[in-house]
Structure 1
Amino acid sequence: MARVDIILNGRPYGLACDDGQEQRLRELGSYVDARLREVAHDASGGSETQLLVLTALMLADEIFDLRAELGGPRRPAPVPAQDPTPAPRAEDESVIAAVDSLAKRIEDIAARLDRS
């Protein structure tokens, strides 16, 4: 098990991850930090916890939107006027699987942050 330090909103967090996942976790941390800074810039006041919650909700909203665009279960697909909807392509299914995997990773990171 590897250990990675990431910085969110100027605060360091030490996290454990599987060996070989260190760079990915750093990239995710940088992405979340950038989004957190956007929320902090747009939000007036608020505690760090509130900023983290708002950022998590914003990221979850993005995931839900992506799932919906890719035919995920969150929103019903529009009914086609004439032709039936073709079966999802294999690459669409792989994108959905990738989004699901990212959502799981974000949930895992959030759980680790809660334990820190």
Structure 2
Amino acid sequence: MPQVTVTIDGKQYRMACDEGQEQHLIGLASRFDRYVSHLKESFGEIGDSRLTVMAGIMIMDEMAELQNRVQRLEEEVEASREERDHALRRNTQEDAAVGDALVVLAERMEHLAQRLGSSA
């Protein structure tokens, strides 16, 4: 199993990951380090544990916002699908009604043509 070394708040950590995930893990650690650095700049030296907890809570807050956004988008997609399906059913019904009307009209025209042909 591959291992990478990541740096968070100036400290190095050796971590294992799945094959091919090395760069992904390094990128995640780098993003997390930015959160910790931001908090450290905002609050100063408040302890590694507190910085880590605060960074974790910030990330969870962002994740919750993104999950809510995804849920709203999924609901919008579902509503759009339902509208589309309703429109398709309505169009199918309208097409059937138009088809029925055309059949009736064709029958009437044939009947009129027969009447005109027999009277001539």
| Unaligned segments of structure 2, at least 5 residues | 81-120
How many residue pairs match? The answer is 79
1:85–1:17 distance in 2 versus 1, CA, 3 Å:
closer
The structure whose residues are more often helix, as a share, is: 2
Partner of 1:6: 6
Describe the SS at the equivalent of 1:30.
Answer: helix
C-alpha deviation, 1:62, in angstroms: 0.2
TM-score, normalization: structure 1? 0.61
Q: 1:87 aligns with which of 78, 81, 95?
A: 78
| Unaligned segments of structure 1, at least 5 residues | 73-83, 90-116
Q: Identity, % of aligned pairs?
A: 27
1:88–1:9 distance in 2 versus 1, CA, 3 Å:
farther
1:3–1:88 distance in 2 versus 1, CA, 3 Å:
farther
TM-score, normalization: structure 2? 0.60
C-alpha deviation, 1:9, in angstroms: 0.4
| In 1, Cα distance between equivalents of 2:11 and 2:55 | 15
1:29–1:86 distance in 2 versus 1, CA, 3 Å:
closer
CA RMSD of aligned residues (A): 2.3
Q: Residues 101-116 of structure 1: matches in 2 within 5 Å?
A: none
C-alpha deviation, 1:44, in angstroms: 3.7
| In 1, Cα distance between equivalents of 2:8 and 2:20 | 22
Question: Which structure has the larger Rg over C-alpha atoms?
Answer: 2
Partner of 1:46: 46
Partner of 1:98: none
C-alpha deviation, 1:86, in angstroms: 4.4
